[in-house]
Chains A and B, each alone.
Chain A
Amino acid sequence: MRQTTKGRILAGHGANTLLRTPIIAPVPAGPGDLRCDQPTAALPAAALEGTIGALEQGQTHYVDVPGILPLREAIAAGLGADYRADAVVVTASVQEARFLTLQVLGQDSGPLALPSVVHPGVRKALGVRPLVHRWLEVGDSARLLPSVAAVGAALASGVKCIFLESPSRLTGAVYDAAEVEHLSRLVMEHSALVVWDQGLSQWTASGASLEALGAGAERVTLIGEVFPGVGLEGLAIGFIATSGAYAASLASVKQIVAICTSTASQYAALGVDESYAARRDEIERELRERRSRLLEWLESIGAQVLEGGAANLVAVRRTDAVSAALQERGLAAAEGTAFGAPDVLRLAVAGEVLQ
C-alpha cells in the first residue's frame, strides 16, 4: 500500500535520531535539578528597569535582524579586537546560534566535522536538515575533547568546517593556549572554518585561551550565551560573532527563521553589560566554593571525576553507586547519553543542594 504524505513525513521523523535527541532545559525545574548548562541568578535591578523603560518608550517593534547595535557592540567588546559589532548576530538562545551556524556555515563551507561527544543541542540542530558530516572521536581522553591531532586529520581529509566546544559542554575541559594556537594554525593552513562554542568560558580560569586564536574572526566563528549566569537564562538570548564574510548569510537565514530576537531580551542583556564583569567574578567565586564541596561529596561516594576546569559543572563516570547517591538526595544529573557519552553524568553546580 502506498504511503501517505503524512505517513512518509512521520516515518522520516521517526528515523531521524539526531532531531529526536533529548534536550537540556535552560533553567532548572527545581532545586535538585542539576541538568542545566549555565548557572542563573536574579536579574540586576538596573537591567530590569532599563528593559521596562525601553518597552514603555516603544521598543516593542521589529528591530534590525542581527540585533540592536549597542548590544552587538557590547558583545563584540568582550571578544577581542578581531570581532566587530557589525559581524555579530544576536540570536534567540544559544540553540538558535548552534542551528544557524551549523546549518548555514556547515552547508556553505562543509564538509563538516563535529566532536562525537558534544552538546545534545548540536545533534538536534544537525537533524533539522541533512548535512554532510563526520564525527571527531574523543578517544579515551579524560577531557572528552577531540585531540588536536584528530582535528588535523579531519582537515587533511578534506573537512572544511569544524564545530568545537571549549570548554566542553559535558566536562568543562578546555583546550589550553598551546592547543588553541595549534588549532588556529591548522585551520589557516587548510583554509577551513571553525565554529567555536565558548559559552562556558566565563566559568574557566583559562577562558583566556581564546586569546590564542590567531586565526581570528575570518576563520573562527564564536557562539555562546550572552552574559551568562546573571539572570538572562529565561530570556533566551545568544550570539554569533563572525567575520563580515559570513555575517550577511547568517543574518539572512536568521531573518527567514525569526526576523529578529525579542527586544525585551536584548534590552535586558544590554542592561547587564556594565555590571557583568564584577558580577561574573562574584558568581564564579561562589561556584568554585560550591564545586569544591560537590567534589568532596563525590569523592566520599567514590565517584570518578572527569577532567574539567569550568566552575559551573562536574562530570563523573556513571556507576551504580553514583546513581544511587544522586537518587537518594533527589538530584537529577544531565545524562551523558544525549552528549554521546553514555557512561558519564554531568552535574551543574547550581544551588546549595548539598547542605
Chain B
Amino acid sequence: MTQERRGTEVFYDLIVQAQGYDDAIVLGRGDPDFDTPAHIIAAAEEAMEHRLGEPSPPEGILPLREAIAERVERVNDAVFDPETEIVFTNGGQEALFLMVVAAIAEGDRLLVPEPNYNTYKDSVAFARGGIVGMPTYPQEAFRVDPERVRRTLISGVRALLLVSPNNPAASVISREDQQELIAIAQEHDLLILADDIYDLLVYDDFSHTSPAALRGGKERTLTLNALSKSYAMTGWRTGWVTGPADLMVRVRDLKAAISGPNSIVSQYAALAALTGPQEEMHAMQGAYQRRRRIVLDHLDAMGFSYGVPQGGQFVFVDVSHTGMSSIELSQRMLDEAHVLAYPGGAFYEGMDDFLRITFLQPEDRLRDGLGRMQRVMEALGVGE
C-alpha cells in the first residue's frame, strides 16, 4: 500500500469517490444494506417520547447491561456480571478504542495477526503503543497458528489481539487454537483483546468460540461486540465491552472520559434488539448465507481463488493473477465498473494481492456488481 496514507484513509477516499456515481454498487464498507427492524425503531420512538429525561451511568442503563449479559452467556457461553463487567459503547468502534486504550500503555506492544481491521493500528498509535504484526497465510486459511504466535512474541508485547471471525480474511479461530492461545497468554503474562463482532455470522461447520468462555480466559480478556452487523444498526452506535471487573473499572472510567453515557434512545433501541423478536435478525443471517454462495459462484466463474469465508460478511479474494496491486485494481473497478471493493493492501501491506468483497447488497445488485467486475476482468484479459 502507499505508505503516505493510512489504510482507513484509503477506504474513505474510495467511499467518497463511489458517492460520486449514481449507479455505484458498494461491496466495500461493512454496513449491512438492510434497514434496522421496525420494532427497534418503535422502541426508539417510545424512548424519545417518554425516556429522554432518564439518567444513565457512563456504562449504560442496568436493564440493557442485563440483556447483554444474557446474550453473551447464551451466544458465547461466557458469564459476566451486568453490574461490574459490562460497559455499553458508541458502537463496536468505541468498544475497540476503549479496549486498546485500557490495555496498551505508552511503549507497550500489541501482537496483531495480519491482516486485520485497520483501526486497531490507529488506536494503538493513539495510545503511543506499538504493533507486532504476525502474518497469516491464505494457504493455511488465514489460521492464527499458536506456534507462530509463540515464535513472534518479543519483548514489550503485553497483549494479543484475537479477531474471530477475522475481518477481512473471514477466518474463524477454532476452540482448540483459542485454548492454546490462552495458554500462551498465561505463560507470557499477556492480556487478550477479543473482537467477537461477527460471532453470529459463522458458516458451514465452523463455530465461534469466545476466549472469555474458556478456561483461564476471562480474567485476562477484554471482549468487544456490537449490534451493528447482526441487527443492521450501524447508525445507532450500539456496542459493548465485557471483561473482568478489575479491568472494567478502567474501561468504565475511560468511557466516561471519552464520551460519557450513550444516547438513551440508542440504549433502548439496543435493548429492544436484544430482547425483542429475533426473526428479522435470523432472516438477515439467512440472506448472508445465500449471498455468500452467489459471490463465491461468481468468483469461481471469474477464475479467482479465495479463502472460503468461514464467517463474517465478506470474502477475501486473491487477485495476484491480474498483475495489479489491490489498490490499483480497486481503483480500476471503481473507475470502470462503478463497483467499490476494498483493497487488501489497505488492511495490511502483505495483503496487496487481495480484495475484500462484502455480501452487503441485495442479491440482484450483488449479481450486477459481480457481473460488472467480470467485464473489467475480461477487459484486462484475465477473466475466464
Contacts and interface: CB of A to CB of B under 8 A. Distances in A.
B259 A60 contact: no
A103 B57 CA distance: 23
B258 A128 contact: yes
Report, nearest first, the 6 A-B pairs whose CB atoms are least far apart.
Answer: A124-B257, A263-B235, A60-B36, A234-B52, A95-B260, A258-B90
B300 interface: no
Interface in A7-42: 8-10, 12-13, 19-20, 23, 25-29, 40, 42
B352 interface: no
Contacts of A125: 257-258
B106 interface: yes
B259 A268 contact: no
A48 B51 CA distance: 12
Nearest to B128: A129
A5 B153 CA distance: 15
A5 B191 contact: yes
B260 A236 contact: yes
Contact of A262 (B53, B93, B263): B263
A93 B54 CA distance: 16
Interface in B95-132: 97, 101-103, 105-106, 119, 122-123, 126-128
Interface residues of B, number: 69
Given A48-B49, A235-B265, A262-B235, A128 B257 contact: yes
B230 interface: no
Nearest to B260: A95
Interface of A: 4-6, 8-10, 12-13, 19-20, 23, 25-29, 40, 42-43, 48, 51-52, 55-56, 58-63, 65, 91-93, 95-96, 99, 103, 121, 124-125, 127-130, 231, 233-237, 252-253, 255-265, 268
Given A60-B35, A236-B259, A253-B126, A260 B237 contact: yes
B366 to A, nearest CB: 17
A27 B53 contact: yes
Contacts of B93: 255-259
Given A234-B52, A264-B265, A60 B258 contact: no
Interface stretch (B162-170, B245-253, B314-322): B245-253
A48 B265 CA distance: 11
A62 to B, nearest CB: 5
11 contacts: A13-B249, A26-B260, A52-B45, A61-B234, A93-B259, A95-B259, A234-B263, A235-B263, A252-B8, A256-B119, A257-B259
A55 B41 contact: yes
Contact of A257 (B94, B106, B189): B94
A343 B32 CA distance: 53
A124 B250 CA distance: 12
Contacts of B103: 9
B245 to A, nearest CB: 11
Contacts of B189: 4-5
Given A9-B250, A95-B257, A128-B257, A60 B233 contact: yes
Given A40-B53, A256-B126, A257-B94, A23 B260 contact: yes
B52 A43 contact: yes
Contacts of A260: 235, 237
A6 B247 contact: yes
Contact of A62 (B31, B35, B101, B158): B31
Nearest to B188: A5
B159 interface: yes
A22 to B, nearest CB: 9
B247 to A, nearest CB: 7
Contact of A19 (B9, B52, B58, B254): B254
Contacts of B264: 27, 234-236
B91 A259 contact: yes
Contact of A26 (B97, B190, B219, B261): B261
A224 B65 CA distance: 29
Nearest to B125: A256
A234 B266 CA distance: 10
A252 B51 CA distance: 32
A91 B103 CA distance: 24
A10 B9 CA distance: 34
Contacts of A256: 8, 93, 97, 119, 122-123, 126
B29 interface: yes
A65 to B, nearest CB: 8
Interface in B4-43: 8-9, 12, 29, 31-32, 35-36, 38, 41
Contacts of B381: none
B20 to A, nearest CB: 14
A130 to B, nearest CB: 7
Given A9-B105, A27-B53, A27-B55, A51 B254 contact: no
